[in-house]
Copies of this chain bind each other. A is one copy, B any other.
Amino acid sequence: MNVLEKIVGSVTSFSKSERKVADVILANPQITIHSSIAALAKMADVSEPTVNRFCRRLDTKGFPDFKLHLAQSLANGTPYVNRHVEEEDGPEAYTAKIFESTMAALDTARQRVDINTINRAVDVLTQAKKISFFGLGASASVAHDAQNKFFRFNVPVVCFDDIVMQRMSAINSSDGDVVVCISHTGRTKNLCDIAAIARENDATVIGITAYDSPLARECTLVLSLDVPEDTDMYMPMASRVAQLVLIDILATGFTLRRGSKFRENLKKVKDSLRGSRFEKKDFAN
């Protein structure tokens, strides 16, 4: 928990003078970190020891230490704090907010993701006879993206966004097959069924979903990304971006595991796309 949040969270327990200090700091945190204790005391119209006591109350060693913590809070905290899109936001505002909240989501995802599980997932994927990606609704596009990535690896890969096809595919899976189920909430009934069916047929099921969800319980391996989603908006945005990045990571792990000879093959796929493009550099669509 960063200092700024801590201050906000404990305003109630502050005394009158401490409150004054808190107000000044919250109003201009950027100025605070470049002020001396005397300057801040003057701004808040309290004495210096009061400021010092305030710092101690927030579990810092003293004023300089407090400034250090505050600086760190500002570095990653500020742009991400309270940045929800609001009714009256103009284009500049909502554009900035969406970029920032997406970045914030990626930041927390990075911190929470379990490297160990990623590594095991890569293990499983590299040894797969066949890889299937299943997602519904918004997660379907993530599944498509995954298919597009893994397809280049020259591995048998399929992707279905249709329940019936998913079901058929799951029923026909067998030992050595890997099924990747993608769902933000992990509560989509149909997908849970698919996961269960795939497991019954000895496939390894990797879930890219919420930890401790019904879907997670059906999976062999769970990659959870508990990203804070803005529930005011009626669409999952940040979580889906995090899922995509996770797919990127798995794909990267995959290529690295396969070694350099394999990556030459990737280059061939890349080159083969040249013909369908207007000349000049690069790749992608």
A residues contacting B by CB (< 8 A) are 33-34, 64-65, 67-69, 71-76, 79, 85, 87, 89, 91-92, 94-96, 98-100, 102-103, 106-107, 109-110, 113, 115-116, 118-119, 122, 135-142, 144-145, 148-149, 152, 182-185, 187-192, 214, 229, 231, 233-237, 239-241, 244-245, 248-249, 251-253, 255-256, 260, 263, 266-267, 269-270, 273, 276-285
* CB<8 Å pairs between A and B, sample of 12: A64-B67, A74-B75, A79-B107, A98-B248, A106-B106, A135-B285, A144-B144, A182-B285, A185-B284, A188-B285, A233-B252, A239-B284
Contact, CB under 8 Å: B285 / A152:
no
**How far does the alpha carbon of A116 sit from the alpha carbon of B91 in the complex, in Å?**
8
**How far does the alpha carbon of A106 sit from the alpha carbon of B240 in the complex, in Å?**
15
Known: A106-B103, A256-B94, A260-B87. A267 touches B234 (CB 8 A): yes
Residues of B within 8 A of A89 (CB): 256
Closest-CB distance, A146 to chain B (whole angstroms):
9
Q: Tell me the nearest residue of chain B to A282, going by C-beta.
A: B185
Q: Identify A103's interface contact among B103, B244, B285, CB under 8 A.
A: B103
Closest-CB distance, A261 to chain B (whole angstroms):
12
Copies of this chain, count:
2
Q: Is the interface of A mostly helix, strand, loop or mixed?
A: helix
**How far does the alpha carbon of A26 sit from the alpha carbon of B259 in the complex, in Å?**
32
Known: A85-B252, A236-B283. A103 touches B107 (CB 8 A): yes
Contact, CB under 8 Å: A91 / B235:
no
**How far does the alpha carbon of A251 sit from the alpha carbon of B236 in the complex, in Å?**
12
Residues of B within 8 A of A280 (CB): 187
Residues of B within 8 A of A73 (CB): 75
Closest-CB distance, A111 to chain B (whole angstroms):
9
**How far does the alpha carbon of A94 sit from the alpha carbon of B75 in the complex, in Å?**
24
Q: Identify A94's interface contact among B67, B113, B249, B284, CB under 8 A.
A: B249
